[in-house]
Amino acid sequence: MEPLCCFPDPLPESVVAALAATGAPYRVVADATAAERDEPEEGWGGAVVVATGDPDAAYGVCRVLRKRDNPVAPILLVVAPAHLGDLTTRRELFDDFCVASSVPAELGARLDLLVSAGGEEPRHEVIAYGPLALNLETYQAVVDGRPLDLTYMEYELLRFLAAHPGKVFTREVLLSRVWGYEYFGGARTVDVHVRRLRAKLGEEHASLIETVRSVGYRFGKARWRP
């Protein structure tokens, strides 16, 4: 699939996370001029245009993409609830729309449709927890829309923990479940990888991986049952 044209720069974190979950390639443009100037030789594969901050600029990007000799399609427009009434007079500028306040699942579903319309099958294998999203097919991870540069084992450890939120695992269990029964490294291996993950998650989100004293590690909040 050719890259999607995405506006504005920077994109909202929710849109970045949803794009990462699809695994679709994309490029971010700052305005209509950039959308035309930066178009790849093979053309855009579609567009995601967020009109919540500057609707006039967003519609300008849509117009440029529509006026091409080979108009970009499909275009997904993300709008604020207050601007829904404007859509009827601009119907020719987009193919689908999503309200910015919609739950992430809706945005992700519409992006899947956009990617599928561009000639690539949508991907659904995603683990999401709060600000974190992991694409199980592309091995991509983002937190608050920021891509994480993880090694293979860092990703595998984070994936395993995030797949079991609230559950405590000892270092020995993590070694066997993530590294495998044939791995002969010590428990310190887990501590080192957790420390690296926390550093890459950043100070704001390092607490996603909690140390349970004298036991091991837990991802996310504990689940209390009455």
Cα dihedral 196, 169, 217, 194, rounded to 10, equals 0
Burial 17-31 (b: 16+ CB within 10 A, else e): bbbbbbbbebbbbeb
Most confident of 43-47, 67-71, 181-185: 43-47
Q: Which amino acid is at 168?
A: V
Mean pLDDT is lowest, of 4-13, 17-26, 153-162, 197-206, for: 17-26
CATH of domain 146-219: 1.10.10.10
Average pLDDT rounded to a whole number, residues 144-165: 90
CA 220 to the chain's CA centroid: 19
Q: How confident is the model at residue 197 (pLDDT cuts 50, 70, 90)?
A: very high
Helix H segments across the chain? 13-22, 32-37, 55-66, 104-117, 152-162, 171-174, 188-201
**Distance in angstroms (rounded) separating the CA atoms of residues 194 and 178:** 13
Q: What pLDDT, on the 0 to 100 scale, is given for residue 1?
A: 66
Average pLDDT rounded to a whole number, residues 101-121: 66
Q: What pLDDT, on the 0 to 100 scale, is given for residue 122?
A: 44
**Distance in angstroms (rounded) separating the CA atoms of residues 203 and 6:** 29
**Distance in angstroms (rounded) separating the CA atoms of residues 117 and 215:** 48
- CATH 3.40.50.620 is right for the domain spanning 4-117: no
CATH code 1.10.10.10 region(s) in the chain: 146-219
CATH code 3.40.50.2300 region(s) in the chain: 4-117
* CA angle 156–139–172, rounded 5-degree value: 0
pLDDT of 81 above 70: yes
Q: How confident is the model at residue 224 (pLDDT cuts 50, 70, 90)?
A: very low
| Sheet of strand 75-79: strand arrangement | 26-28, 4-7, 47-50, 75-79, 96-99
Mean pLDDT is lowest, of 50-54, 122-126, 189-193, 196-200, for: 122-126
Name the one residue in this structure whose structure tokens are 């990462």. 20
Q: Nearest CA to 23 among 143, 139, 109, 119?
A: 139
Structure tokens at 149: 């540069």
Q: How confident is the model at residue 92 (pLDDT cuts 50, 70, 90)?
A: confident
**Distance in angstroms (rounded) separating the CA atoms of residues 4 and 24:** 8
Q: Which positions ≥6 away from 82 have C-beta within 8 Å?
A: none
Q: How confident is the model at residue 15 (pLDDT cuts 50, 70, 90)?
A: confident
**Distance in angstroms (rounded) separating the CA atoms of residues 221 and 62:** 42
